[in-house]
């Protein structure tokens, strides 16, 4: 299927305020991470969408059997409470044992009205053995916030342009990650490519600090426009970063440079 052919008028959408939380994570200690993020989230007030890193309660761990929460567990409750408290959507991924018994690297999308949506990571990082401990997601998911169409993805998904390719008239691609410093060059080159090829904004949140295996993370959280130009670059800092996206800019660019009209049709099996 080709993308951006819905005829939807996006120029009248309100501005979208994002808050990206780039920080260290306490290894295998959800309670400590909840407390740490609660303090940081005070700096995110006023945002419509607050984005946390991948596996924000534990760090990127393969100890799924010991760390997995049930559906509707502690992270569900905590995210719901924070979303209500801050009147914003809050999202990030955690280790979940699904109803079918499988373990999932699951992005939770907590709305302030209490509704919880999710996306399960499709591409599992085999170089760390993630595919041996988790089951992959089967479908792309699109969220809507104030009329904006947002598609969440997780870390290693970034390397796969077919899965990242937009058949859904997406306005914002959202990546949450634990992307190691050793491959920061790839992170910083692939993110602009995803923005350019999909003619949409891209926001990406990564962690900083070292994990329990000693792997360092360089951060580099960023927000890019539809031409791959940076609107926000975090580098290695620790804290909450704010940016506002303007749908009028996106609509004007798509009208001026309608490459989507020549997009190839495709199907994902």
132 belongs to the catalytic site: no
pLDDT of residue 235: 84
Is 232 inside a domain boundary? yes
Is 144 inside a domain boundary? yes
User: How many percent of the chain have pLDDT more than 70?
Assistant: 97
Is 147 inside a domain boundary? yes
pLDDT (tens digit, 0 to 9) for every residue of the chain, 269 residues total? Answer: 344 445 688 999 999 999 999 999 999 999 999 999 999 999 999 999 999 999 999 999 999 999 999 999 999 999 999 999 999 999 999 999 999 999 999 999 999 999 999 999 999 999 999 999 999 999 999 999 999 999 999 999 999 999 998 767 899 999 999 999 999 999 999 999 999 999 999 999 999 999 999 999 999 999 999 999 999 999 888 999 999 999 999 999 999 999 988 988 888 87
Is 2 inside a domain boundary? no
54 belongs to the catalytic site: yes
Helix (H) or strand (E) holding 231: strand 230-233
| Structural domain for 77, as ranges | 16-262
The total domain count for the chain is: 1
121 belongs to the catalytic site: yes
Catalytic residue among 69, 130, 155, 200: 155
Catalytic residue among 54, 69, 130, 200: 54
Is 216 inside a domain boundary? yes
Catalytic residue among 69, 121, 130, 200: 121
The span from the CA of 175 to the CA of 156, in Å, is: 9
pLDDT of residue 134: 98
CATH number, domain with residue 154: 3.60.110.10
pLDDT of residue 169: 87
pLDDT of residue 121: 98
**Cα dist from 155 to 54, 120, 180, whole Å:** 7, 12, 10
Is 176 inside a domain boundary? yes
pLDDT of residue 167: 65
Is 42 inside a domain boundary? yes
Is 4 inside a domain boundary? no
């Amino acid at each position: 299927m080709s993308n951006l052919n819905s005829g939807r008028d996006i120029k009248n959408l309100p501005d979208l305020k994002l808050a990206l939380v780039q920080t260290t994570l306490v290894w295998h200690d959800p309670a400590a991470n909840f407390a740490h993020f609660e303090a940081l989230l005070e700096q995110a007030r006023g945002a419509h969408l607050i984005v946390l890193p991948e596996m924000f309660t534990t760090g990127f761990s393969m100890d799924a059997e010991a760390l997995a929460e049930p559906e509707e567990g502690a992270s569900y409750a905590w995210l719901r409470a924070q979303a209500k408290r801050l009147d914003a959507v809050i999202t990030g991924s955690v280790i979940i044992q699904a109803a079918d018994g499988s373990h999932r690297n699951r992005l939770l999308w907590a709305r302030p009205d209490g509704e919880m949506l999710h996306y399960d990571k499709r591409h599992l990082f085999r170089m760390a053995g993630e595919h041996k401990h988790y089951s992959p997601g089967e479908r792309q998911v699109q969220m809507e916030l104030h009329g904006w169409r947002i598609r969440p993805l997780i870390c290693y998904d970034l390397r796969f342009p077919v899965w990242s390719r937009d058949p859904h008239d997406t306005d914002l691609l959202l990546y949450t990650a634990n992307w190691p410093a050793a491959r920061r060059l790839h992170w910083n080159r692939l993110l602009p490519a995803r923005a350019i090829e999909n003619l949409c904004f891209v926001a990406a949140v990564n962690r900083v600090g070292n994990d329990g295996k000693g792997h360092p993370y360089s951060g580099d959280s960023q927000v890019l426009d539809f031409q791959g130009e940076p609107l926000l670059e975090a580098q290695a800092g620790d804290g909450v970063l704010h940016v506002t996206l303007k749908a009028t800019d996106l609509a004007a660019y798509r009208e001026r440079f309608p490459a989507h009209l020549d997009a190839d049709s495709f199907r994902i099996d």
